[in-house]
Structure formats: structure tokens, C-alpha cells
Chain A
Amino acid sequence: MTWGIIIAIVLVLFIFTLLTLGDGLLKVTASQAGEDTSGYSVLPTSLQELLGLGKKKGEYVPDDAPVKRLKRGFDVNLAGGPSLGQAGIRELRSATYALKPKDLIGMSPIPKVMPELGATVKAGEPLFYDKKHPEIIYAAPVSGEFIELRRGEKRSINELVILADQGEMQYHKHEDVPNLETASRADLVDFLTASGAWPFLRQRPFDIVADPSMTPKSIFVSTFDTAPWATDANFSVAGKEAAFRKGLAALAMLSGTKVHLGVNGMAQERPSDAFLKADEVEGVELHYFQGQHPAGNVGVHIHHVDPVLPNGQVVWHTDVHGVLLIGQLLLEGIFDTSKVIAVGGAELPAEEGYYARVHQGIHIAALLEGMADDMTTEKAYVRNAEGQKEEKMVEVRSIRIVSGDLLSGKQVERESFLGFYDDQLSVVKEGNYYELFGWLVPQAGHPTRSRTFPGGFFPGTHYVPDTNTNGEKRAFVMTGEYESVLPMNIYPQHVMRAILAKDFEKMEGLGLLELGEEDIALCEYVCTSKQPLQAILREGLEELRAQ
């Protein structure tokens, strides 16, 4: 019997020695190969880390502030992210701008277009509205000539294109701006819906444009984005602090209860005072969130502060740009959609991204000047009519352009326009290549969370991504994967199964209403079985909304 204990101890010591040795060797080899070993974590370096107390909050976080530490999540570190570089934030304009009604969830396929083709519009003048909600106006982001209506299947409207003025931007000046001190909530709602600012308020569940006839139980604003290559809201708000405060005050009036502002609790650089001191505005509450992606998603903030429950109540949310737009509208009477976006990708000319101040709906080609052609030709074997194989050159895409981030954005063409809400453009190499024993060898070079690759041990390393699926679609096999990257008390895999089984009660009960595509995107990224979770989620949400 003593033998057993001695052997057990010897075994444990032996394995621990082996691990420590392997650990050290791995670290040495990795740093020789130029990998970043700072985030490396097989063995906890201290007891604190072992107990999960390692991460400190930012120094700017007050001691008594409500801080939510999110343990689950994963930062997808990719090479080619935006940097300020020499030029700083670039001021970019394009010849044409466009709004894409299909970016708006729940919009009817053929909205009512208001100006005639060829008419001159000023920034902030009405462009179209949804026939189901005629009171909500969608306004032109820039001034110029309304030159084209691009249609898709069944005459549905894809893009409303405006040829922008080359000189100074002409703003439509609102004379009837309500004074927040004296005006009623109804006045404010009428003004915002008529001026084109309303669509920037969105509703959870479903992520649709907020319904002006409803009152939300609270309004959420996230001031940081943890997605790969995300933009930095501090740039947008710099110099517009007054507008931000005004916007928050308006939101507080709309909510009637609280505006919850989610602030990064462990940012490397101190967030803008516009965020840190926002609670001086009446009705605004600050919440600090610490953690990896998706800690910056507004869906995560809602879940932890004031969750969407299956009882018919809704919350509204917007981003920093939405608050600024509303604030500026109330302060100056103009509809200014300018925002600082991030353009990321290792395929860009300098092999890294940049920040740019642009207006909503900018032409994408203007953002990608100097980038290589996104199509190329490749040899392929194609069967002809007789069933014989022929060698043929076919055109294939080599670079993909994504409006939004790489986890939940939409693929767009170079001759298209930035999405309605998007504040980020990503370009990524297409992964249409074969890799010999790609599933077997432990080679580096692919971004991964899995520790079956050396890269999995070094989460701080930045890899160049591509769009290869890295495997074929399979049935759900692995479990616990989704939960480990979703910092919510939700079982994503079972939500998905409930959607596939069309079990409405279970969908609602398990918290489908709390989820949006961007929240589940990371689960889809890490999924071993390569399941299309976002598509399944949207299907479920649409079914619930139809009810």
C-alpha cells in the first residue's frame, strides 16, 4: 500500500519535471523562431494565475466602480491590424457614396425611395423609408446628386448611390431642434425619426431598428470593440466630447430609466474622459468590463447588466458613432455621419492597416487604393460534356473584402460601399489552396486557439489569416467549445439544436433572444465541426420574430 503512494508521488514529480523541461524548451525554441512568448500559459507562473486572479484592472478604474471580469473569451490576434503610422488618421472621401437598405435587418426588400433620380440632396435630407414604418426616415449621408438606384433580384433595392459634391459638404440645417430641458420625450422621438438619426438606435432582441412606439427598459452603448482589427472609439470622440454628452442626455430621456455605458476595464491606453466621466450626465451608468473578445460586444454587456428576457420587454443599443450623431444633431442641427473607421489586412499596401475618418456608405475602392487585384487565374480540371477531364484556366478570387470584422462582417465587392453600421473594413487572403497533411502536421502559421498546434500555446502571436475553412463541415461532436468563448450563462450548442429542431419554447428559454450574430461569431470561429452558427442563429431569430 505504501508502494502505491510512493509510485503516485514519483509519477507526479516525474511528469511535472517533464512538463517543466518541455515547457522551457518550447519557450526557447519559440523565441528563437521569433514568436511572441509573453502570453504563453501551459504552467501558471504563479499561484495567483493558477487561481485565475492574474489580470489587473486598468489604473483608471475607480475602486468602487462596478467591474465585471469575464473569464471566458478569446482574442483572435491577426497580423495586419490598423496602426496610426506616420500619417495619423487619414481623411478620405470618395466620388460616390451609397446606403444599402439590405444592411438593415427586417427592412422590406423595396423601401420607398423619396427623391427623384437626378435630384440634388444635402446631407441629412430624406432618402428612403420602410413602408412598414413610414415615420422613420433614412437620410443621405453626404450632399450631392442622387444618381443611381441599383436593384437586385425581384426589383429589390440594393444600393442608393449619391455622386458626392467635390467641394464643401452641404448640410441640411434643422431649425426645429428640440431643447432637451423643455421638450417632451414624444417631441424628441418625432425629431429623431424625421431627421434620419433614429435608425442608429437598434433593438435587442433581433438587432432590428428600434420601434419608436415602444419604450425600452434601458439603452446600452458600448465604447470599445474587441473584435480583430477593430476601430478605436477614442479617435471618433476626440474633439466631440460635448456632442457625446448631449447624445447621452438624449438617450437618457428616450430610455426613461438608464443608459448603460460599457467601458473597457483593462485597456492599455486610458479611454477618453468623454467615456470615463459620462456618468456626470444624469441617467447614465458606467460599467467596466474586463476580458477578451467578445467582452466589447454590447450583447455581452446587456446580458450582464439588464438582460433581454422572454417577457416582451426590449432594450435598445447604439454605438459611439450613433451617440455622436444624435448629439451633433441636437447641438448644431446638422446630420454628420463622419466616423473614424479601421481598415485592416496584411494584403494592404503597407502590409498593415490604418485609421480613416470617412462618411457613412463610402465607396470601398477609395479605402483600398494601392492594393493588388482581388482576382487571379488558376489551373483546374473541369469535366466537359463527354465526361472527360480537361485542363482549364479559371478565374478565382485571391483577396476577400469584408465590410465589418472578419468574424461577423459581410463580404463585399471592391466596387461596393461600406455597410450602414460598419466602422471597419477588413481584407483577407482567400484560402483556396490545398495543404499536404494539413490536418495532421503541427506546423505554425495558422491562427488557432487549439493546443494541438504550437501556436495554441502562444495566444499573443499574430498570424496572417486566410479564409480556408481548415477542414470540412461535420456534425456537432466536440462539446464545451462554444461555452468556453462565450461569457454568458447560455448554452450555445443547445440553443442551436433547439433552432434546428424548431423548438420555440426551448429557444426562448435557453436565451436565444439575448444573442446576436456578433456574439456567436467567436463560437463559429472556434467550431471544430465548421458549423454555420450565425446563419442558424439568424434563422431562429427570424422565426421567433415572425411569431
Chain B
Amino acid sequence: MALIDFWKRIEPSKENQFLHATYDAFFTFMFKPNLTTKGKGVHIRDAMDLKRTMFHVVIALQLCLLVGTFNIGHQHFVALGIHTGFIEAFHLKLVFGLVQLLPIVIVANVVGLGIEFYFAARRGHAVEEGFLVSGMLIPLIMPPDIPLWMLALAVAFAVVIGKEAFGGTGMNVLNVALLARVFIFFAYPTEISGDGPWVAAWALAEDGATKVADYYWAHTMFNPLFDAAGWSTFVQGTPFVAGYSGATPLALGAAQGWAQVDAVTGEVTGGILSQYSALQMWMGGIPGCIGETSKPAIIFGAIFLLITRVASWRVMLSFVIGTALTGMIFNAWDATVFMNVPWYQHFGMGGLLFAMAFMATDPVTAAQTNRGKIIYGFLIGFFGMVIRVMNPAYAEGWMLAILLMNVFAPLVDHYVLEGNISKRLKRAKEYAK
């Protein structure tokens, strides 16, 4: 194996910790190491390892990433009122999406992995794989126009305070990806909530009121190429459709009820252009965070995780049940227009399914006992719906609900374990008699 020879020859000395940890991370990425089991304990081990587990979550996210990328471009042109068909001007939307997304992915991973490598070297152990998934999840739960410095700050906060401070992968109490998002949510709320951030690359025109498309060099660098091919190009300064607000179906539903979401009239009512249908909402042609919009892509990822048994079906199932029941209660209560939104349509809105498939199922921060997982999932569903529907300022709840339950998961486990212990002690007393 010439390749192995090459790697072995360039192995740096162990005295340079950072260099060696980095080398080790890349080497074990290339090759499964030649470690063998110890003479005591098991002599053979299952072929599964943590790298593979983590990577299968990343695989499950790929479809979300792909559709999400394209949808960034699609939403931009829908706002401009041109190329409004989903696959019209495919090249423009894809290029636009990639130009928006790639810097986010790169910044999130460079910052996060850099910190991980540093801490691994300091502690003198191998770089752990946890950030492989976080580095893919974080871009998917960000708005497409997030300023990169803000993202870098959020990732650094999440990794240092949320994870390394607790001892690294497997020790963190809170979900790292959600911690990055919640940092931005509280520190820079306008960048991640309201109607503005979901459509990328715009600026206010000189009149100070109209929004117009605002490209920079990376967008327009392909223009000559498209021109030569006779395709449509990016046009700087194209004005937005009059009355277009960028409100998500969730925001519409919260403000005006389900009827407004499911009405493709093209008319401006109450200052908002109504432009969605239920089908559109489910398929993903709506503004929102990058990865959360396309439900078929998320469901595909969820099924992939369930079949490969990487994620827990208990959490997902009880999450859905908790959400549905709470939604039904709100439907029956019927005090506001948002409560009146049919419970099953909630699944198509906002980040609900994404939270179910990829956030609540994080094995480190979820409850760890099987019974605890069911309680944990159910309570996330319940609290998430309560926060989403009852919160007057900001109509979404999964991030906060999951972080809340992350904190309470050890308590849930504690009671499950106490039950096991007291059952055993009770039997012991009965026998002793």
C-alpha cells in the first residue's frame, strides 16, 4: 500500500501536539486505524464506529442541503417576481444558492473544527467526530443571508461554551447546533426572526422604501458565461414585487390564520402578498431557514436514519404524538386565529419536522433510557407547540423547546432509573422477609 507508506512517512513528531492531532484526524479520516482489541474483554468488535454513525447523519442531511440550496435561489427570484416557476432559470437559482450557502458551510466548519482541533491537541486525545454533524446542521438552520462574522461568533460560542467547557463530544448538555442558533436569536434577533432575513441579497433602493436585488461579485461572476450560452443573467437592482414581505407561512398563519396561508390569490391583503398553498408549503417552495423548508427531503432523511437505526424511533414517534395532541387541544380551544390552524398543517410549517428528525434525536443531549426517550420526545412536542402558538412575539418554538428539554433530560432519566432501583429494592425487601 503505497498510500499508507506515504502517510506514515509524513507523520509529524508527537511533540508538536497540534500538528500531530491534526495529522491524526486526517489520517484516521483516510484509513480505519490498525488498532486491535486488548487481550481482555471482547476480542472482536462490531464494524460500526462513531465516525460512521456521524457520517450517516450527514448523508441523511444531503437532500435537505440540496433542495435548500436551490430554494435560496428560488425564493430570491420569487421575491423579484421573475422566474417564479420552481425549475425556471435553474442555473441562476443553483448558482445563487451555492454562492449564499458555501461561505456559511465553510465558515461554520472552519471555525468549529479549528476549535475542536485546538482542544483535542491541548487535551492530548484524538479529534472527536461530533462536529461533523454539527458543522452540517448549523448551516441548515441559518437564514440564507446571515452575516458570516455573526455565524463565526455563534459557532465559537456554541463549541467552546456548549461543548468543550463540558469536556467535548458526548459530554455536552445542550445541542451544539441549536446553541449556535439561539446565540444569534438572542444576540442579533433581527437577523434571524421577522420577515426580512429569509430572502437573500437585497438592499433598500434610493427612495428608502422599495427593496431591490443587490448582488456582489460572486453572484455576477457567472453572468458572462450565462450570456454566452444565451441564458438569463443576474440583473443588479431589479425591484421586488410590490407588497412582497418575505413572511413565511408560519408568520402568516400566526398573524392571520390558516386561510391566509392556503390562498394563492396573488392579491395584496393587509399589506401582505398572499402567495402560498398547502402543497407549496409541504414541498418547500417557501422562505425559511435553509434546510427546514422541504418536507419530503426531511422525511427522506428521517426514514434513512430510522432504517439504518442511527436515530431513535422512540423520540421521533413520541415527538409527533406530543405535537399532534397539543395541536388538537389548540384546535378545540380556538381562542386565536393561530390556534385555529389545523393541527396536521403545523407539521408542514416552520422547522417542526427538521427538529424532529435531526435535533431532538441527538443521542447525547436527549434522554438516554428508552422510557425516558418517549417522555422526552412527547414533552418537546408539547412545549414546542405551546411556545409556537402561545408566544405573541415570535411564532416558533422547537429550538427553545428542545434546549429546554435538553436541560431536563437528565431529570427524566433520573426518574426512570429511580423507578428501576426502587423496584429492585422492593423485591429485595420482599425476599428478605
Contacts and interface: CB of A to CB of B under 8 A. Distances in A.
Interface of A: 1, 3-5, 7-8, 11, 15, 42, 76, 78, 217, 307, 309-311, 313, 380-381, 383, 387, 389, 400, 402, 406-411, 426, 428, 430-440, 446-453, 455-456, 465-472, 474-480, 483, 489-491, 493-494, 506, 509-511, 517, 521, 524-530, 532-535
Contacts of A479: 312, 363, 366, 368-369, 373
B169 interface: yes
Interface stretch (B69-77, B138-146, B179-187, B419-427): B419-427
Given A1-B342, A451-B309, A452-B56, A468 B427 contact: no
Contacts of A440: 51-52, 55
A254 B10 CA distance: 67
B34 A437 contact: no
Contacts of B282: 4, 7
Contacts of B31: 434-438
B34 A434 contact: yes
B421 A506 contact: yes
Contacts of A530: 45, 49
A380 B5 CA distance: 9
Contacts of A452: 48, 52-53, 56, 308, 310
Nearest to B168: A475
A469 B28 contact: no
A528 B53 contact: yes
A408 B310 CA distance: 26
A468 B34 contact: yes
B424 A475 contact: no
Contacts of B228: none
Contacts of B421: 506, 509-510
A525 B34 contact: no
B344 interface: yes
18 contacts: A15-B300, A217-B431, A307-B427, A400-B36, A400-B43, A434-B1, A440-B51, A450-B48, A451-B309, A452-B52, A468-B36, A469-B35, A474-B169, A475-B128, A479-B373, A491-B420, A525-B44, A529-B50
Nearest to B28: A472
B45 A468 contact: yes
A409 B43 contact: yes
Given A411-B40, A436-B3, A468-B35, A381 B8 contact: yes
Contacts of B153: none
B420 A478 contact: no
A475 B309 CA distance: 19
A426 B300 CA distance: 43
Contacts of B429: 311
Contacts of B373: 479-480
A435 B44 contact: no
Nearest to B40: A535
Interface size class of B (residues with CB under 8 A): 35 or more
A390 to B, nearest CB: 11
A483 B52 CA distance: 21
A521 B43 CA distance: 10
A309 B424 contact: yes
Nearest to A537: B41
Nearest to B312: A480
Contact of B420 (A380, A448, A510): A510
Contacts of B43: 400, 402, 406-407, 409, 411, 426, 428, 467
Given A3-B277, A11-B299, A411-B40, 13 more contacts: A4-B278, A310-B424, A311-B432, A430-B36, A452-B310, A467-B44, A471-B33, A474-B50, A479-B366, A493-B368, A494-B413, A511-B424, A529-B170
A1 B9 CA distance: 64
Interface string B362-378: 01101011100100000
A381 B5 CA distance: 9
A91 B235 CA distance: 89
A529 B363 CA distance: 13
Interface in B222-251: none
Contacts of B30: 436-437
Nearest to A509: B421
- Which of B55, B56, B428 has the most chain A CB within a 10 Å cutoff? B428
Interface string B128-139: 111000000000
Given A439-B52, A475-B171, A494 B44 contact: no
A423 B169 CA distance: 41
A524 B307 contact: no
A456 B47 CA distance: 10
B296 interface: yes
Given A408-B42, A411-B40, A534-B40, A309 B48 contact: no
Nearest to A451: B308
B170 A466 contact: no
B41 A524 contact: yes
B190 interface: no
Nearest to A400: B43
A534 B41 contact: yes
B420 A489 contact: yes
Interface in B377-433: 413, 417, 420-425, 427-429, 431-432
A466 B32 CA distance: 14
Nearest to A493: B368
B84 interface: no
Contacts of A511: 420, 424
A434 B33 contact: yes
Contacts of B420: 489-491, 509-511
Contacts of B128: 474-475
Interface in B13-65: 13, 28, 30-53, 55-56
Nearest to B53: A528
B417 A472 contact: no
Given A381-B9, A448-B47, A493-B368, A434 B168 contact: no
B42 A407 contact: yes
Given A15-B303, A407-B43, A477 B34 contact: no
Given A381-B8, A451-B308, A535-B40, A528 B428 contact: no
Output the residue of A217, A402, A446 with the most chain B CB within 10 A.
Answer: A446
Nearest to A463: B47
Nearest to B342: A1
B221 interface: no
Contacts of A465: 44
B209 interface: no
Given A434-B4, A440-B55, A467 B36 contact: yes
B171 A432 contact: no
A543 B344 CA distance: 54
A453 B37 contact: no
Contact of A526 (B48, B348, B413, B431): B48
B370 A483 contact: yes
B126 interface: yes
Contact of A525 (B8, B32, B45, B299): B45
B88 interface: no
Contacts of A526: 46, 48
Given A381-B8, A468-B34, A491 B428 contact: no
